[in-house]
Structure 1
């Protein structure tokens, strides 16, 4: 009986029509803004309407974002220079270089700095509840 079911499956696969990709049409250009790798797995879950907010960040030296939070998860890809991150969960300053990604959970107080003598760049995507502000100031969470 199992052999008959297996043979029926193989026969169906052999006779199934091949799937073909749909080629692009017209003048289509794509610009890659950033590619980065995170050391941690990423899961995004929302409970209602969601806004994706994307921005390019340029930090001239020396500069700081100030302590703040976001009402949704933040995904950042460093595209140039060195960005230093402190979070309420990880007070030791952690440097991130071009090609690295940072994921900051919703509501986590954090500060981003450029303490180097060169500009630092990043592309940031926030996954926010619809109509929520992008950020809120927060008191310093670390000395």
Structure 2
């Protein structure tokens, strides 16, 4: 069964640490680094940058999102990252606000890909524990780079 993952990008680091990524570059990174036959479809949306379609297990997908951006950034910067990359995901269990197929629909995964210096402070700032309270474990994921 294929899953759709909608990726957003939260760039919360200084440009001195790593340059910002345009939406096109962000999507291209996932297109180039994710395994075939995963599909990466760029989106023209104010929040979602691209859509990834795969039948891989959700845990594999979550880990892959972090690994892809870590590998890309380490290659780009030619060093181990001095910050963390997070993939924070949740499946949409409520009816969609729009019938537009390029927006998050019930059963799709919304995933925030975050670049941040302090992962724990970031999670506290977005109130992560409250955001996931009451959600089933299989309906969410949190992956943080080493």
Greater strand percent: which structure? 1
Greater helix percent: which structure? 2
Q: Normalized against structure 2, the TM-score is what?
A: 0.28
Q: Normalized against structure 1, the TM-score is what?
A: 0.28
Q: Which has the larger radius of gyration?
A: 1
